[in-house]
Amino acid sequence: MNVRDFEQGRCFLARLDLGAEIVSQISDLAKREGIKTGTLSAIGALSRAELACYDQAAHMYQTIRVEGPVEMVSALGNISLRDGQPFVHAHAVLADGEGRTRGGHLMKGEVFAAEICLQELVGQPLIREHDPATGLHLWGER
């Protein structure tokens, strides 16, 4: 297990822009504010989205396309450094007009309305490195 402790830094609440791509808008905010490590949560509504499930045998993401409109019931994630830049890792549960949900790794989504809470964490930044056993970019020991 790889454990590191942090102090709480700044906490941001942000309303994202209509039509924006949610993951890139969150990473842009992190870059602009110099956030290297943090946690995030989000709720709102998306016009469409692309979720994914990681195929653990093939080491590839299987795409789940979600044609909206959908409620973003819950999205949770974190920010750490990958290739020297803030990288957003988020998962989301999305609900259609009948309340039926689909969930997965949030690849991208077109914002209809979204409110996010971004908690900066201050300490030695977590750095994502390629992990041969899983094929994922996981937090390294550095």
Interacting residue ranges for Zn ion, rule: CB under 5 A: 105
Nearest to Zn ion of 36, 105 (CB atom): 105
Instruction: Please identify the residue of the shown chain whose CB is closest to the bound Zn ion.
Output: 105
Query: How far apart are alpha carbons 52 and 64 in whole angstroms?
Result: 5
CB of 80 to Zn ion, least distance (A): 12
Would you say 53 or 117 has its CB closer to Zn ion? Answer: 53
Element (DSSP H or E) covering residue 86: strand 85-95
Give least dist CB 54 to Zn ion, A. 7
Q: Which is nearer to Zn ion, 8 or 62 (CB)?
A: 62
Determine the residue type at 52: A
Give least dist CB 61 to Zn ion, A: 9
**Helix or strand (DSSP H, E) at 60:** strand 60-82
Which lies closer to Zn ion via its Cβ, residue 106 or residue 127? 106
User: Cβ 98 to Zn ion, closest distance in Å?
Assistant: 26
Distances in Å between the Cα of 49 and the Cα atoms of 41, 46, 58 are 17, 7, 23
Q: For residue 142, what is the DSSP state? A: -
